[in-house]
Each structure stands twice: as C-alpha cells, then as structure tokens.
Structure 1
Amino acid sequence: MFLAWKEITFNKSRYALIIGVLVLVSYLVYFLTGQAYGLSQDNRTSIDKWSADAIVLSDEANSTINMSMVESDAIAAIEGADEVAKLGQIPVVMTSQADTDEEERITATVFGIEADSFIAPNIIEGQTFTDDFEVVADISLQEEFDLQIGDQLPLSIIDETITIVGFTDNAKFNVAPVLYTNLATFQALRSLANPNAPDIVSAFVVRAENPDKITLTDDNLALYPIAEFINNLPGYSAQVLTFSFMIIFLIIIASIVIGIFMYVLTVQKIDIFGVMKAQGIPTSFIGMSVVGQTFILATLGSGIGLGLTLASAYVLPSAVPFAVNYEYFAIITGLTIGFALIGSLFSVRVIAKINPLQAIG
C-alpha cells in the first residue's frame, strides 16, 4: 500500500485524471440512484404511511385503485381483519393564484377518509379537517407552490373550493401530492362520475396480524397484499426495473474503466516491474501494490462522487424526485470497489508473466 500511495503522489496529474473520471462516473451512479429511489418513493409514500397489510378493491378493477368502486357498506364482507379503513381516491386539478397574478394549475390526488381511522395522516402544521372541502395537504405543495394554511383553491371538476387547514409529510401517490379530506367531500367529487351511487368508496385498507386469515364474503371484492398493490401501480415496476438496470450497467462500466486504466499503466511500467523482479522483489508484493493502488483510486473516486451527490441533494429543488438512501449508497460503493479490484487482477496476471531478463532487455 505504501508503494501504491507513493506512486500516486509522485504522478499526481496522471492519477488525478483517473480519479476525475471515476468521480464523474460514480457521481452519475449515485445521482441516478437517488433519483430512482426518490421517484419510487413519490409513487408510494402515502401507502407506506398506512402501515397496512392488504387492500380490498373491486374485483373488476384489476388491482388498480383508480378503476375501483365499491359500495361503502361492503366493508361488512371483510372477515378476519383487525382494522379496516374506508378509502376514497380520485385525482383532481386545482387552480392556484401565484405571486405573479397568473393562475397555476396543480394536479393532486384526493384521499377521502374517516378522520379517526388508522390511515389518517400525521399533522406537522395546522390541524386536521373538520368540515367538508377542508383538506390536509402534503408539505410539498407548500415547498413547490408556496401554499399556506387558509389558502382556498378552486377545483376544475366541480364548482367548489377546497381550503387547506393542515399539512402532513411523506404523502404522495403516483408522484402527485395527496390531499386528505372527509368521505363526504370525496362523495361530492366522485358523484360527478357516478351520480346514481353516492355512497361509494374506492377501497378498504386492512390491517391484520395474520393476513392469510382474511376472507371476503362478497365475490365482487378482491384482496391484494400491499406489496402486490404497490408493484401494480401504473408505471411503478417499469421505473424501478429501468433505473435498476441503468445503475447496474454504470457500476460495471465504472469498474471496467478503472480496470482498463490500471492495465494500461501496468503495461507502461513493464520495464520497471522487470527491474524490481530482477532485484528480488516478489511478484506477490508488486501485485498487491497494484491491487492496493486500485483500491485507493476506486475509494477516492467513489468517496468524492458520493460527497458531491450528498451536496447536490441539499440544493436540488423540491420538485426533483430525489431521496438519499444510505444503504443503497453503501451497496453501490462496495460493488464499485469490489468490481474494480476484480478488474485489477488482469494487471496482476500481466505482472506475473513478466520475464525480468526480457524486460530489462
């Protein structure tokens, strides 16, 4: 390791170039990971807040809550559950008056719930809703659109205005901020699509100590584990798979890049290694120096790239779906360094084949 570090400090410009390339590649990997994780969280944070085990939808909805409509009294058909909460879900478009006096349209998702149910949101500012068309909004609406408690926002689908009375955190569904309100408000919004069935909800959210014992006595209902429900959210699985493959390939590319750099440097130093072997320095010592040098370069490149990513997280606007997951970052760092060390073994193989007499000439 001493020899590896001495060479790096002696040839600063050469190794600074290698580290620079690794920093850029690792920064891209970490940043994409943060975006992928942030985007996936924006699809599901409101669901995770439920701490639920399953969800009941209409049988014909194909596990999609947007297409689900069930009668409210169908809750009696759910047996074996510890807690069941009614949930109405519908997308809405609101109009906000910006500082420039220009109207700005905001897309959100309304969750109609009972205020005392277990899926009611935590309040970080203001209070919970107590009347029709009062909502508790995700805090992102305050951060992105400067909405405040008491703001009244006209709805596009109905001649009514909602009033923000409180804010909660981590409440997004399909990337849209969630507005929590009572079931009566949801019924008023939903009745536009189905005026003949006013007492309709979208789903029943279920908690159970043993979800396998939950049974449904109504054939028009279907039970889905929460994990399956999340995976079936529109676009969720495709986003996760796409970003996962991109990140894996970038890690492999970064490892190949550092492996090629080390191989080229090893070939350039064949004469030097030949002299070292002629002086009696064992191949294992020289090989370990190359591996140690690879470890130093990969660690520095990954560390600086990670530091830049964490710094970027503090300056990114709230509209950018970015979230830090230290566990993922640690795994990526370990994989990058591990693959880079594996790649350095090709250079060790070259060193082992060096004939001191031929190298000296």
Structure 2
Amino acid sequence: MVLDHGGRLNEAAKRWGIPRSEWLDLSTGINPVGWPVPDIPAEVWQRLPEADDGLEEVIREWSGASPSAACVPVPGSQAAIMALPGLRNPCRVGIPEPGYREHGYNWRNAGHTTIPIGPEQTRCGLSGCDDRWLDQVDVLVWINPNNPTGKIIPPSTLLRWHQRLQKRGGWLVVDEAFMDATPAFSLCTQAGRPGLIVLRSLGKFFGLAGVRAGFVLADDWIAGNLRQALGPWALSGPARYVMRQALRDRGWQNKARVSLQQNMGRLREVLQEARLTLVGGTVLFQTVRADNPVILADQLAAQAVLVRVLDQPGMLRFGALANEKQLRQLMGALAVST
C-alpha cells in the first residue's frame, strides 16, 4: 500500500483534460519560490559522496545543535520516518491525530501498535497539565508545527514529555518539516539528549522537495543505528552540495520568512472572503473546513486549481501562493466554486 500525497499534477491534468502548464498547484505545502539552486560543479556529479565534506558542521551551525548531538544527513525526512521504526522492538507508539499519515503507517508496518493522540490528551487545564497519558506509549511521534492544523507545541512542553518518556527508555520523535519559518520553537538546540530525535527537511520552506534532502539530530546510539539502516551514500553528492549552500544562505532565508508571511496573510483573507472557515496553518499552507470538501476540490480542479483533500472529515488544505497572478487565479476559481 502507498499513501496518497499532494503534488499529483500529472494525474490531475489527465483527469481534467487541462494542460499541466495551466494549473495552480496548491496541494503540497511547498514554498513556490524556492531557494535558487546554483550550477553544481561537475566533480560533485562524478564522485561518490564524502562524509567529511563539511555538511554536518554546516547543519550544526545552522540549527544550533550542541556538540553532543549526532547528525545524520538523510534523503528527505521521509527516509528517516521509514527507517526509525526498525530500530526498536515492537512497542506502543503515540501518533498525533490529525497528522501526517506516513508516521503511523510506517510504525504499524514495522509491527508496532499505534495509539492515536488527540488534542484532548495534550491540553492543559486550569489545574495544570496531566501528562499521565504518556505512560501508555513507549514512543511518541509529534509533528511541530502540526500538519494539517499548524498548531505549535512549546519546546518546554515537549521537553517535559521527553523527560517522562526517557525515564522508561522511551523516545520522543519530533517532525519539524514545517518549522523553518518559526525557528524559535525548534528542539534542534536540545538534540543529543537520550531518546530525543528531531527530523528536518529542505523540502518545504526551501522549496527543494525534488532534491530529497534533510537531516536527523539524535543521540549517538540512535544515530549510529540509523546510519547503518540507511546504508552508505544515503544522501547523494549533489544533494549534500545543495544543502550546504542553502543552509548557509541566511539572507535568502530571512527574506523568504517575510515574503511567505505576507503572502499567507493575503491567502487567509481570500479564503475568508470565500466564506471558508480557517482551521489553522503555517506560512506554507492554510487548512479550512468545508461541508463537502471533495466536491469543492473538484470544482476548483475544473478551474485548474489543485488543492489537498485531507483524510480528516471536512478539511481542505491550500498551499502558499507565489505571486499576485496566482492569487487572482485562485480568487477567480473560488468565485465560481463557492
């Protein structure tokens, strides 16, 4: 079984009979104005990847990770999502609901028992926080910010959860695929603690999903076993080269945060003007409620606008816009469809 994801543009073009070049693809949550990839030296293509090329040092500097944290470059965080379940014997794994389905799918596929963790379990009341729900799991996977709600759990809360899990040899796996626009909430600076695993990717904020590049910060034991599971040369030489350059480009990153925030504010206004109820989101996507999400998605697709119908009942996700032209195309499609 292969789970469906956004970005199936060829399939949409064929189904609706609209040329690929005419589509506005808002189904993926990927920055539509990605980091500008420079020419890659020929030597990078001709030689095997080398682990001592300075990539890990660049990652540490960029993320603020401590010297105690082990760093594993990976071919996209998806590779780590698939490999990590094989590093533990079958156990109980908490999976956020709603959330990115690949986490639960891969832990179940490896023989683990998954337990859905909803907002009611993680909410703190007037009398304080009751974390006893953590005692029913051995591993907790958390998506921060959440996909698709955009909710962010503060680092202090996540570290409290990690401490409770770690006392029993448990793990906290934090998927920070959408964290780049809000780096103050990242747990990268805390990596290296036993049983704490942080996943990052170049796919979303940097708009480089096609390069399949990311990294994992963890303790030495987990990192060593993850490297062994992935095998030699897991991340290609061109991907390592691109990651080094992109992470060093702080100027582009700062400008991208501002631009994405401005564009997302305009998208939110357009969605509200179309009388869609906002559920939440990040600078890379907004999630809305709709009475008939499949029908609305089909109506938008008939206008060459591709959005993501989520597994959660009554939810649609709209990705970030690149420019005013795309905004006008979306407004026109919504005017016909809502």
Q: TM-score range by the shorter chain?
A: under 0.3
Of the two structures, which has the highest relative contact order with CA contacts closer than 8 Å and spacing of 6 or more?
A: 1
Which of these two proteins has the greater Rg computed from alpha carbons? 1
Structure with higher helix content: 1
Q: Return the TM-score normalized by structure 1.
A: 0.26
